[in-house]
Amino acid sequence: MAVARASFAVLLFTCTFVMGVGTLEVRAAAQDIPTPQLTPGTERKATAAADTPAQPTKPQTVELTVPKGSPLQVALDKEVQVKKVGQPIHARVMEPVYAFDHIVVPVGSEISGEVTKIESISGSKRTLAVLNADFSPQRKVEVNFNELVLADGKRLALHTSVTPGSGQVIDFVTSADTKEKKAVTDMASEKTKEAKEQAHQEWDNAMKQLKTPGKIQRLKRYGEAQLPVHRQYIPAGTVYFAELDEPLNFGTEVMTVPMASSIGSALPQGSVVRARLVTPLSSAASHQGEEVEAVLSQPLKDGDRLILPQGSRLKGTVKQAQPAGRMKKNGQLRIAFTELVPPDGVEQKVVSTLEGVQAGKNANVKLDSEGGAEATTSKSRYLGTAVSLGLAMMATRAGQDHDGDAASHSGATGGLGGFKLVGMVVGAAAQSRAFGMSMGAYGAAVSVYTHFMARGREVEFPKNTAMQIGIGTRTAATPPAGKEAAPTAIPLASAARPLSQ
């Protein structure tokens, strides 16, 4: 009996040992292979904290869905003469639409819609327009888009809302390059420069698919606009942001092990991400310290490795907001993103600079070498003021003569300077030297006030403004004995300085 009990004990111990070794081997194997998952950082940290063996799971899938509220940046591919509500319009997608890490709507995809509203003109605005020899003033036109045609011919019905700030011709503006570089940051600066050049090239290629007017056509349309009665056009290249009222589903993809393990890894030096502004900004309305948020419109990759999928978020604040002032002092705006939130929800501190931005062509926005934005004034103001002053001088000289022809000439010239064609006709008919001289002086005064004394331009970044943002991670410097490490930024950081006054 004793021998039997001893044999049983040995057998039990052996079985327990073998099972234990097997368990350890399974545990080690499970820990060596990262589990494919959408939120690898969070789950790995939770598993490590609980000190429990990681259980192998089936590979997860990612929904390739463009969610509700996502904007499609589209531009009219040909000029539209505004006629009536319901007339069709046709546009092209100007920026690729991503779902996670896949392009689901490529550049050049066709999108169609219609004119939904043509606003009427108030009596006061119409009166002012008539006095300025404009009997058909511009009316605000609203549009919408309802069908998307992909490159393979597939048609998708859309329900969209065009966001405020849409309906203008847009330029892609990049920041000035710094002339002085430190050796440590040369590589990062070069990568940043390459990213900006690539974005410029992509924008130029997207614009080539549009039938934008040449110089002759622009001069023709400008001349027509000066006539008392003229047609209204929406020029080719006018950009709209059409937000989806319903999501678009493009299937799923398998989350591979390499993809799961690379998400949220360290940012490569000189990283530049494409993002869209969630928070509308204005140098007039925004305030220092106000929170700002942007969402990545395209994934960030390091070679074939996915670092940040589309949909990752950037959070920051307004560092400087200076509204426009009198004497044509233009508005200034500076923002900085300090937190990066990938899909696993684990925030990390970053430093950033605004490297490029899309802005209205008439806004004349420029970026300094550190990403601060400032509105500029068009140099055409000098020409306009010179013309007005010249007309005023001609009216004055003609008014000093005493014959009737000179009086008529004075009235016509002064009236042209004051109220364009209507003023010229009335002045010529009245044959009044006083009228001509006063209208000439009025036109010159208005021109000087408008171009040199009135309030300057504001910096306006509406919701969905496309941006290029350079980002870099913060690292802890080696602290002296007994002192805590202070965070330092690599390689993108640059101390914010006030914008030029």
Domains of the chain by residue range: 66-377+457-489, 380-453
User: What pLDDT shows up at residue 84?
Assistant: 94
pLDDT, tens only, 299-341: 999 888 899 999 999 999 999 998 988 877 888 899 999 999 8
End-to-end CA distance of the chain: 101
- Which carries the bigger pLDDT value, residue 318 or residue 496? 318
Checking if the pLDDT of 449 tops 80, the result is no
Q: For residues 202 and 23, what is the distance between their CA atoms, to the nearest angstrom?
A: 54
Q: For residues 76 and 274, what is the distance between their CA atoms, to the nearest angstrom?
A: 23
CA angle (450, 455, 456) in 5-degree steps: 95
Q: For residues 404 and 399, what is the distance between their CA atoms, to the nearest angstrom?
A: 10
User: What pLDDT shows up at residue 346?
Assistant: 75
| Per-range mean pLDDT, top range of 162-171, 283-292, 422-431, 444-453 | 283-292
Checking if the pLDDT of 445 tops 70, the result is no
Q: For residues 137 and 130, what is the distance between their CA atoms, to the nearest angstrom?
A: 8
Q: For residues 46 and 51, what is the distance between their CA atoms, to the nearest angstrom?
A: 9
Q: What letter would DSSP give residue 148? A: E
Average pLDDT, the chain: 74
* Percent of the chain topping pLDDT 90: 29
Give the range among 297-311, 379-393, 418-432, 442-456 with minimum mean pLDDT.
Answer: 418-432
88-94 contacts at long range (C-beta below 8 A, 24 or more positions apart): 88/112, 88/113, 88/114, 89/113, 89/114, 89/115, 89/143, 89/234, 91/145, 91/240, 92/206, 92/209, 92/210, 93/148, 94/203, 94/206, 94/207, 94/239
Query: What is the mean pLDDT of the segment spanning 126-155?
Result: 87
At which residue do the structure tokens 């030297």 appear? 433
Other beta carbons less than 10 A from residue 228's beta carbon: 14
Q: For residues 478 and 484, what is the distance between their CA atoms, to the nearest angstrom?
A: 9
Query: What is the mean pLDDT of the segment spanning 223-229?
Result: 79
Q: For residues 261 and 238, what is the distance between their CA atoms, to the nearest angstrom?
A: 42
pLDDT class for 488, splitting at 50, 70, 90? very low
- Which carries the bigger pLDDT value, residue 283 or residue 487? 283
Checking if the pLDDT of 112 tops 60, the result is yes
Q: For residues 322 and 458, what is the distance between their CA atoms, to the nearest angstrom?
A: 9
Q: For residues 44 and 445, what is the distance between their CA atoms, to the nearest angstrom?
A: 71
Distance of CA 287 to the CA centre of its chain: 20
- Measured in degrees and rounded to the nearest 5, phi and psi for residue 184 equal -65, -30
Contacts of 74 (CB under 8 A, 6+ apart): 91, 92, 93, 94, 111, 145, 239, 240, 241, 242
Q: For residues 221 and 216, what is the distance between their CA atoms, to the nearest angstrom?
A: 9
Q: β-pairing, 291-296 with 305-308?
A: unpaired
pLDDT, tens only, 78-104: 999 999 999 999 999 999 999 999 999
Quick one: which H or E segment has residue 161? strand 160-162
Contact 337, 352 (CB under 8 A): yes
Checking if the pLDDT of 402 tops 70, the result is no
pLDDT class for 126, splitting at 50, 70, 90? confident
Checking if the pLDDT of 468 tops 50, the result is yes
Contact 287, 67 (CB under 8 A): no
The SS3 of residue 189 is helix
Q: For residues 202 and 209, what is the distance between their CA atoms, to the nearest angstrom?
A: 12
| Per-range mean pLDDT, top range of 12-21, 263-272, 370-379 | 263-272
Locate the DSSP E strands across 8-94.
Answer: 61-66, 71-76, 80-81, 88-93
Q: For residues 319 and 292, what is the distance between their CA atoms, to the nearest angstrom?
A: 10
Alpha helix (H) ranges present in 431-453?
433-448
| Number of helices (H), then strands (E), in the chain | 9, 27
Q: What is the CA radius of gyration of the chain?
A: 32
Task: Enter the pTM of the model.
Answer: 0.72
pLDDT, tens only, 25-51: 333 333 333 333 454 454 544 444 444
